[in-house]
Amino acid sequence: MIKKILLIVLFLMVIFSSIISYATEVNVSVKLNEDYIITDEKNILIDGTTYIVARSLINALNEEILWDENTRTVTINTTENEIKFIVDDSKVIVNSNEIEIKAKPFIRNGRTYIPLRIASDYLGCEVDWVQDTYTVELYKNNLEVNEKYKFIPNYTEEDYRLLSKIVQVESSDGSTDMKLAIANVVLNRVKSNLFPNSVSDVIYQVDRYVQFPPAHRESFKTVKPTINSKIAAKNALEGLNNIDNCLFFNNSPFKSKTDDLYKIIEGEYFYY
């Protein structure tokens, strides 16, 4: 009987942890005809649905977008469709026809988010999802994106892939919080005058001693990061930071840096 109870508890823990992992938000990049779209708030993936800041996409598509504060409605007018999203409502109105949707529009930080897939169905775009880099690639014929709506990221896709790999080998099956902290140690070093100024050079640094030993093993070339490692790397690159300006971490205390300890996460000590 006790064994059965333990098995049930273990099963529930596994299910619960997978739900938590799946529900984790991750910043998403959006490209339109190969150009990244500029936005003043992050586009995000929640529970398998990509939400995008409505105005950033519609501006880039050179279409009209209107906001009605009284009805909390976003109206998008194209040459073919009129699309109405009502904040927190489970329907979208397309050319006066109501369509039930599961992913409801919402407002965050003063910006209206709409489910990208539903919007793109009526905006004349082809949509590709690049799982490896958490990027939505949109394509629309005969459209030239205005320069003022283009965005040049401060990191490359190779930075993202390499950061995901080092997070994976340094954190193993640790939490997203711990993985995010490790990713930020790397990025903090890139910003610091004490270390090289690129993700690759920081990870492979061997000046006085090897900074990240796993990166110099043959097996590092074939490391496949988990979803949580990718999420942590992506979010860190997009500006999410949980360890301030820490430059070091270790699985045991540094006696020489007692005063520089910032936080302990799952047995990892993070230092300035």
What's the mean pLDDT in 185-189?
A: 97
Identify the pLDDT of residue 251. Answer: 86
* Residue 209 predicted with pLDDT over 80: no
**Burial (0-12, 13-18, 19+ Cβ within 10 Å), 154:** exposed
What's the mean pLDDT in 96-106?
A: 92
Domain 8-151 has CATH 3.30.470.20: no
| Pair 190, 242: CB distance under 8 Å | no
What does pTM read for this prediction? 0.71
Q: At the fourth CATH level, which superfamily is domain 157-271?
A: Cell wall hydrolase SleB, domain 1 (1.10.10.2520)
Torsional class of 83: left (φ above 0), alpha (ψ -120 to 50), beta (otherwise):
beta
Handedness of CA 35, 160, 191, 241 (dihedral sign): positive
Q: Do domains 8-151 and 157-271 have the same CATH topology?
A: no
User: Domain-by-domain residue ranges, the chain?
Assistant: 8-151, 157-271
Beta partners for residue 60, in sequence order? none
What's the mean pLDDT in 192-198?
A: 93
| Pair 151, 36: CB distance under 8 Å | yes
What's the mean pLDDT in 250-261?
A: 84
| 3-state SS string for 125-172 | CEEEEECCCCEEEEECCCCCCCHHHEECCCCCHHHHHHHHHHHHHHHC
Share of the chain above pLDDT 90, in %: 65
Identify the pLDDT of residue 133. Answer: 84
Q: Which letter does DSSP use for residue 98 in this model?
A: E
Residue 68 pLDDT class (50, 70, 90 cuts): very high
Residue 4 pLDDT class (50, 70, 90 cuts): very low
Residue-wise pLDDT for 14-37, tens only, equals 333 333 333 467 889 999 999 999
Handedness of CA 161, 162, 165, 171 (dihedral sign): negative
Q: What kind and span of H or E run contains 179?
A: helix 176-191
Identify the pLDDT of residue 24. Answer: 65
* 113: helix, strand or coil: strand
Share of the chain above pLDDT 70, in %: 91
What's the mean pLDDT in 159-184?
A: 94
| Pair 65, 59: CB distance under 8 Å | yes
More confident of the two residues 120 and 179: 179
